[in-house]
């Protein structure tokens, strides 16, 4: 079975500072990993995905994530936080085949001016 | 990219009534769709897997008689919340698997409020 653990339910950073949101996965098969962002009262928006190609994945809005098999991690980073990055972020995992995504509990990112 | 729509985007109903939520894949066919529920400030929890032409598969703890799922065609799945109660108030999101890179395409969600 697949699962993800997001460390830290709430992360607060200053505008312009590094954003680091942590995600560790558990999977019995090579996983497909995703990061989604959700703004208040809106649906999910895909930030980036890992599908066993490059281990460093670049996404939208300046975000990127690195797949580290040895650490079973897929942490999300952004060099410089912007006020508009304040939102809820979800890490998710999916096994191969026609299976649903399994989501982490989410991390709320606050950006302080 | 592939688009999934949901209707309605929000609905308010009275306790005891039933509400139907539609999930459509607009430019691709989906033999499988997934229904998630999200309570305020919580994550998405899978409720059920909708299969075209067969019965839905429900996750443990989800009442199949309360949450009726019908996958009527290759582009439409519906979720009917029967005899709704205030505790059913939630954000319901559907998704459909893509054909590449094991991605899922999510609908915009339906916010249900039961008064």
Indicate yes or no: CB of B95 within 8 angstroms of CB of A100. yes
Q: What tens digit of pLDDT does each residue of B89-107 get?
A: 999 999 998 777 577 899 9
Q: Average pLDDT in the A27-44 region? A: 89
Answer whether A10's CB lies under 8 Å from A17's CB.
no
Q: Find the CB nearest A96 among B102, B107, B111.
A: B102
Please count the other Cβ atoms lying within 10 Å of the Cβ belonging to residue B99. 10
Hey, what are A38's tokens? 């959700």
Q: What tens digit of pLDDT does each residue of B51-74 get?
A: 998 999 999 999 999 999 999 899
Taking contacts as CB-CB distances below 8 angstroms, the residues of chain A near B101 are 32, 49, 51
Distance between A2 CA and the closest CA of chain B, angstroms: 13
Nearest to B15 by CA among B65, B82, B69, B79: B82
């Amino acid at each position: 079975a697949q699962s993800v653990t997001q460390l830290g339910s709430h992360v607060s950073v200053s505008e312009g500072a590094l954003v680091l949101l942590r995600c560790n996965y558990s999977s019995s098969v090579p996983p497909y990993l995703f990061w989604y962002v959700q703004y208040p009262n809106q649906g999910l928006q895909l930030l980036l995905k890992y599908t066993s190609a490059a281990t460093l994945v670049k996404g939208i809005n300046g975000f990127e994530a690195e797949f580290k098999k040895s650490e079973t991690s897929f942490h999300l980073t952004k060099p410089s936080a912007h006020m508009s990055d304040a939102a809820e972020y979800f890490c998710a995992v999916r096994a191969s085949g026609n299976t649903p995504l399994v989501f982490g509990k989410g991390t709320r990112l606050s950006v302080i001016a | 990219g592939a688009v999934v729509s949901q209707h309605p985007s929000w609905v308010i109903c009275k306790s005891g009534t039933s509400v139907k939520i539609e999930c459509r894949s607009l430019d691709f066919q989906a033999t499988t769709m997934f229904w998630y529920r999200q309570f305020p400030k919580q994550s998405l929890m899978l409720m059920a897997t909708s299969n075209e032409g067969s019965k839905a598969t429900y996750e443990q703890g989800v009442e199949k008689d309360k949450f009726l799922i019908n996958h009527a065609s290759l582009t439409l799945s519906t979720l009917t919340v029967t005899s709704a109660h205030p505790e059913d108030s939630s954000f319901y999101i559907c998704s459909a698997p893509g054909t590449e890179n094991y991605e899922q395409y999510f609908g915009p969600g339906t916010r249900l409020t039961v008064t």
